[in-house]
Structure 1
Amino acid sequence: MARILITGATGSLGRRVAALAVAAGHTVLGTHVRPWIEAVGGGVSPAISPVRLDIRDREAVQDVVDAAAPDLVIHAAAGRDRNDWVTNADGAANVALACGERVRLVHVSSDAVFSGRAGREYTEADRPDPIYPYGAAKAAAETAVRAIAPGAVVVRTSLILGDGNGGHEHLTHDLVAGRADGALFTDEIRRPVHVDDLADALLELGAGDFRGVINVAGADPVSRYDLGVLVAERDGLDVGKLRSASGSGRPGDIRLDVGLASGLLHTRLRGAYEFMRAG
């Protein structure tokens, strides 16, 4: 069994990675910024050891990694503000510096590193060409991680949902309830992934010897609008209250090619139409 340090363990993804790692018998340490109980609401396994850490503080990150002495670090932390460059870019570099080449690192990146102008699926060989601040920060994080810790795994993923806590799930509920004003875009195409599938894949990659970039996303290409419809149907919401639009100015078609992951991983990456309609 391994000793695993998970950054961002109070977030939707980090929490699931931590829970699955504990269930598998690993020793798990999870970092947090807000008070632990406040952040997780008390609904977290007591087997997870909380470690307060602001990844923007390079020395603090180094101290935590040195003290924890993990076999594996899974970097799932992200800024609460998507445009928080210091957390999303510099924070990732700080984690990579602390791991170096002595601690295995799995870094979570995003399809947002791409512009959507390719007119095809993006493979691991495609070079980032971000067109907005969040994508630029994630691209910078990838560059830092690959330069500082060349043995790391850089996992590019897409919209994460499936357990009710995903950002797109919350947005759909807010739009239907009138708590948010706006529309879901028909020309923003993604490969949404279930949080449990992604969490399983991160742990599997951490236990293996793969290094470099790998796309880990769901099987189905889905527009943000169609995904909102799936959320509404699953949760018994009024689909008629969702508005569609096009031309958001954000990346359009940024489907990730998941051929490498499908051949390498035992974890099955389900499509949104399957996992949103299950049961």
Structure 2
Amino acid sequence: MRVLVVGGSGLLGLAVCRRAVRAGLSVVGTYHSRGIVQPGVRARRLDVTDRAAVRTLVAEVRPDAVVGTPYRYDDWAVTADGAANVALAAAEVGARLVHVSSDALHAGRPTPYADDEPPTPVHAYGAAKAAAETAVRAIDPGAAVVRTSLILGEGSKQIQLCRDALAGRAVLFSDELRCPIDVSDLADAILELVGSSYAGLLNVAGADAVSRAELGLLVAERFGVDAAGLKTTTGAALGLSRPLDVRLDCARAAGLLRTRLRGVRELLAR
């Protein structure tokens, strides 16, 4: 099987590439500015906002499956239009599509979100991820759309944010709850979906719900950092419109996948 990983130079994309090579698949990974250094991966530069370029590359590669992981937090064209361009190109060659979405498209509430719940975005990034989902599902109803949460792993922005807050260079929100997931667990789940016929939305996140502030404390304990300097606040205190309690109900994924979705406390245990 030939797999095209769009956004293969990012934390998740690189993990998917690495584990796909290990599974014996033929892997092509795309990058925009930062190259891919991974044995067994053929790297191709791609601007996902250029529809013609996306179609040309996909037509040349002729993948059996496409994994779409690209995003840029403050860029609608990459996050939304790019997803649509990838879905269109994948459909044109009949490739299986697994699109990676985010819990950021929910506003937050006291009860967990089921897989099929409609988006309720409260900021631009969430709206872009919601638009991407809408485009992907309209273009390819057979695509698997993975809604995930904060991604942890070596080089993770989430871990670095915690380190920065522990050093007093950033703040963590005590009223934002998420279900962080290890990047390798998420990559394995995505590759399982590549080989399946599952269609539609699927929550794939970690087993534990923690606040960003609690995540900072877990990072401090894991790496032996003094937590006395941890800076925390709340979205309300800063007057920000941000998703708050966003927990994903992953019961469907747990029943469907062989991959065990570990909780953050297990991941960061010393």
Cα separation, 2, equivalents of 1:100 and 1:75: 13
Q: Secondary structure at the match of 2:268?
A: helix
Q: Deviation at 1:35? A: 4.8
Cα separation, 1, equivalents of 2:57 and 2:116: 33
Cα separation, 1, equivalents of 2:162 and 2:121: 25
Is residue 2:135 matched to residue 1:172?
A: no
Q: Deviation at 1:175? A: 2.4
Q: Deviation at 1:14? A: 0.5
Decide whether aligned partners of structure 1 residues 105 and 173 sit closer, same or farther in structure 2, where only a CA change above 3 A counts: same
| 1:60 corresponds to which of 40, 43, 53 | 53
Moved >4 Å (runs of 4+): none
1:3-48 Cα offsets, whole Å, 9 max, x none, are 0000111111101110000001000000001152xxx5x4x22x10
Aligned residues: 265
Counterpart of 1:201? 189
Counterpart of 2:2? 3
Q: Give identity over the alignment, percent.
A: 50
Is residue 2:97 matched to residue 1:105?
A: yes
Decide whether aligned partners of structure 1 residues 34 and 210 sit closer, same or farther in structure 2, where only a CA change above 3 A counts: same
Work out whether residues 207 and 262 of structure 2, in 8 Å CA contact, stay in contact via their aligned partners in 1: yes
| 2:268 corresponds to which of 265, 276, 279 | 276
Give the TM-score, by structure 2 length: 0.95
Cα separation, 2, equivalents of 1:17 and 1:27: 12
Counterpart of 1:146? 137
Counterpart of 1:72? 65
| RMSD, aligned CA | 1.2
**Letter of the structure 2 residue corresponding to residue 157 of structure 1:** T
| 1:211 corresponds to which of 199, 204, 208 | 199
Q: Deviation at 1:125? A: 2.2
Cα separation, 2, equivalents of 1:226 and 1:194: 16
Cα separation, 2, equivalents of 1:202 and 1:252: 26
Q: Deviation at 1:127? A: 0.7
Counterpart of 1:131? 122
**Letter of the structure 1 residue corresponding to residue 198 of structure 2:** F
Decide whether aligned partners of structure 1 residues 237 and 214 sit closer, same or farther in structure 2, where only a CA change above 3 A counts: same
Task: After TM superposition, list the pairs within 5 Å mapping 1:205-244 onto structure 2.
Answer: 205-244=193-232
Decide whether aligned partners of structure 1 residues 35 and 194 sit closer, same or farther in structure 2, where only a CA change above 3 A counts: closer
Task: After TM superposition, list the pairs within 5 Å mapping 1:89-104 onto structure 2.
Answer: 89-100=80-91, 102-104=94-96
Q: Secondary structure at the match of 1:100?
A: helix
Q: Deviation at 1:109? A: 0.1
Is residue 2:42 matched to residue 1:49?
A: yes
Work out whether residues 165 and 216 of structure 2, in 8 Å CA contact, stay in contact via their aligned partners in 1: no
Cα separation, 1, equivalents of 2:116 and 2:141: 16
